[in-house]
Amino acid sequence: LHDITERKRVEKELSMALHTALEASRVKSQFLTMVSHEIRTPLTAIIGIAEVLKETPLTLEQQKYVNVLETAGNTLLILVNDILDFSKVESGTLSLDQVHFDIRELVEKAIAAAAVRAGEKGLTLTVEIMPDVPSGIMGDPGRLTQILLNILENAIKFTERGEVVLRIKNNPDAKDDEGLLFSISDTGIGISEEKLNTIFDSFTQVDSSIRRKYGGTGLGLAISSRLVNLMGGRMWVESTQGIGSTFYFTIKFGSPSMDDPYII
Residues found near ligand ADP in the complex (CB under 6 A): 150, 154-155, 158, 186, 188-191, 199, 204-206, 210, 216-222, 245
Shortest separation between residue 190's beta carbon and ligand ADP, angstroms: 6
Shortest separation between residue 221's beta carbon and ligand ADP, angstroms: 3
* Of residues 66 and 155, the one with the C-beta less far from ligand ADP: 155
Shortest separation between residue 20's beta carbon and ligand ADP, angstroms: 30
Residues 67, 87: Cα–Cα separation, whole Å: 30
Cross-strand partners of 165: 126, 185
DSSP one-letter code for 135 = S
Shortest separation between residue 247's beta carbon and ligand ADP, angstroms: 7
The values of phi and psi at residue 235, to 5°, are: -125, 140
* Of residues 220 and 233, the one with the C-beta less far from ligand ADP: 220
Please name which of 123, 183, 121 lies closest in space to residue 147, comparing C-alpha atoms. Answer: 183
Using alpha carbons only, what angle is made at residue 77 by residues 76 and 83, rounded to the nearest 5 degrees? 90
Exposed/middle/buried for 25, CB within 10 Å: 0-12, 13-18, 19+? middle
Shortest separation between residue 169's beta carbon and ligand ADP, angstroms: 20
Strand pairing of 163-170 and 124-129?
parallel
* Of residues 158 and 248, the one with the C-beta less far from ligand ADP: 158
* Of residues 152 and 168, the one with the C-beta less far from ligand ADP: 152
Q: Which residue is nearest to ligand ADP (CB)?
A: 216
